[in-house]
Chains A and B, each alone.
Chain A
């Protein structure tokens, strides 16, 4: 009985988190276009609904009714599989991410996380790494040169920045002595880790920008030189799956920044409910991502590789050794 209840609760949580994540790209695309508009002294979308709030819904409907083109010489099976492979891992990452501590409902204690794994951080990196497969399959199966070049660039970029990203969180694990995200947040009740780990946070954030393929590191879809990168040949819903996964990755990076370095749902000065604090902080980071997009120019590919391998990697290694010395 108890087991059945636990399984039902987990299932309910999985459904709720999936639904939220699937809907989240709708407000986020609207927000991004509005921010873009106002940064560039334009209005942004205005026609559909109040200040264009229904624009993403209209776009979604349009994508749903778009023809699904598959190039003649494409590997059809891989071509159809790639968007789904690219969509699933960013969602699965959220299994290990806590949104708050717990609250009681009808006398029962309900936790605000799906699962508190003792290897949480490692699990997140392992699953997030799987996204590379969607990119390489999609690019290669299209049998188009733009797609192939885009997917190769994107893969090299993703794996290059995964290393500094992995190294930069080692300092946090050392301080918290745990890989469970819940323990990491609880350990930051007094001081946020960004105070002890400014270098770690810097490396993590820059690598996060690259992992989410956002400007200034959106080389994979440099529209001026590569068509649209690895999803050049995709259209309709399959194309939108790549877009949804990109937005979910952006949310994941923002959430990880908050949990690992900015105290998660721990408040600061103003007493607000923990969940509100959490959402505010995550919202700030999402805004930062969008702000960057319309502020910075894109790097060249050789610069991108040099930043990853020659700057961030030594910096993150130095951070590990310094933090270790400090702890010992």
Chain B
């Protein structure tokens, strides 16, 4: 049990150490850097003209959303493929055919998305 936990301990250590070092660097930087803000400097960059509207209201092309949904479908497929790949030699042809059917079903959705133009990027 402890053996297993020791495998995962460095993850916490590494996260903590890197985050701490980042804070430390920022702190050191705050001691030496100048601070001279004024309204014109703190405007978001928009080619030098006054910013028009708010960017953070989040108006963006809906196509990004479609890509995100497609990503989730295929990412879950990846999750299923990993354990299957480890044991493929043991489960043999039966396991292979089963996964073939699973991939085929997802492939139908993929072809549908392609045919509907979800993968075409239009400007």
Residues of A at the B interface (CB closer than 8 Å) are 3, 6-7, 10-11, 13-15, 17-18, 22, 64-75, 83-84, 87-88, 91-92, 94-95, 114-117, 121-122, 125, 140-149, 152, 155-156, 159-160, 162-163, 166-167, 170-171, 173-174, 177-179, 227, 232-233, 236-238, 241, 301-302, 305-306, 309-310, 313, 317, 320-321, 324-325, 327-328
B112 interface residue (CB < 8 Å to A): no
Interface centre among B2, B71, B99 (most CB of A within 10 A): B71
CB-defined contacts of A320 to chain B, threshold 8 Å: 81, 85, 103
How close is A134's CB to chain B, nearest CB, in angstroms? 12
Chain A binding surface SS class: helix
CB-defined contacts of A301 to chain B, threshold 8 Å: 121
Partner of B43 from A11, A72, A159, A179 at Cβ < 8 Å:
A72
How close is B63's CB to chain A, nearest CB, in angstroms? 8
Q: Given A115-B8, A147-B44, A174-B89, 7 other A-B contacts at CB below 8 A?
A: A65-B34, A68-B33, A71-B43, A143-B44, A166-B81, A233-B44, A324-B100
Residue count of chain B within 8 Å CB distance of chain A? 71
CB-defined contacts of B50 to chain A, threshold 8 Å: none
Contact with A along B10-29 (1 / 0, CB 8 A): 11011101110111011011
Residue of A nearest to B60 (CB): A152
List which B103-123 residues lie within 8 A (CB) of chain A.
Answer: 103, 107, 110, 114, 119-123
How close is B6's CB to chain A, nearest CB, in angstroms? 6
B119 to A71, Cβ gap below 8 A? no
CB-defined contacts of B10 to chain A, threshold 8 Å: 10, 13-14, 95, 114-115
How close is A266's CB to chain B, nearest CB, in angstroms? 22
- In the bound assembly, the distance between CA atoms of A154 and B81 in angstroms comes to 26
CB-defined contacts of B8 to chain A, threshold 8 Å: 115, 117
- Given A11-B13, A67-B35, A140-B58: A72 touches B42 (CB 8 Å cut-off): yes
Partner of A92 from B15, B35, B68, B88 at Cβ < 8 Å:
B15
A237 to B13, Cβ gap below 8 A? no
- In the bound assembly, the distance between CA atoms of A236 and B119 in angstroms comes to 38
CB-defined contacts of A73 to chain B, threshold 8 Å: 44, 54, 56
Partner of B45 from A18, A232, A238, A241 at Cβ < 8 Å:
A232
B78 to A92, Cβ gap below 8 A? no
| Total of A-B residue pairs, C-beta within 8 Å | 208
How close is A248's CB to chain B, nearest CB, in angstroms? 10
B41 to A237, Cβ gap below 8 A? no
- Can you give 22 contacting A-B residue pairs, CB < 8 Å? A10-B6, A10-B13, A18-B14, A18-B21, A65-B33, A67-B34, A68-B29, A87-B22, A94-B14, A115-B8, A125-B78, A143-B56, A159-B68, A160-B71, A173-B86, A174-B85, A178-B86, A179-B82, A320-B85, A321-B100, A324-B96, A328-B95
CB-defined contacts of A325 to chain B, threshold 8 Å: 96
Partner of B15 from A88, A156, A174 at Cβ < 8 Å:
A88
- In the bound assembly, the distance between CA atoms of A73 and B56 in angstroms comes to 9
B44 to A69, Cβ gap below 8 A? no
Residue of B nearest to A119 (CB): B82
Partner of A64 from B28, B55, B119 at Cβ < 8 Å:
B28
B25 to A237, Cβ gap below 8 A? yes
B21 to A67, Cβ gap below 8 A? no
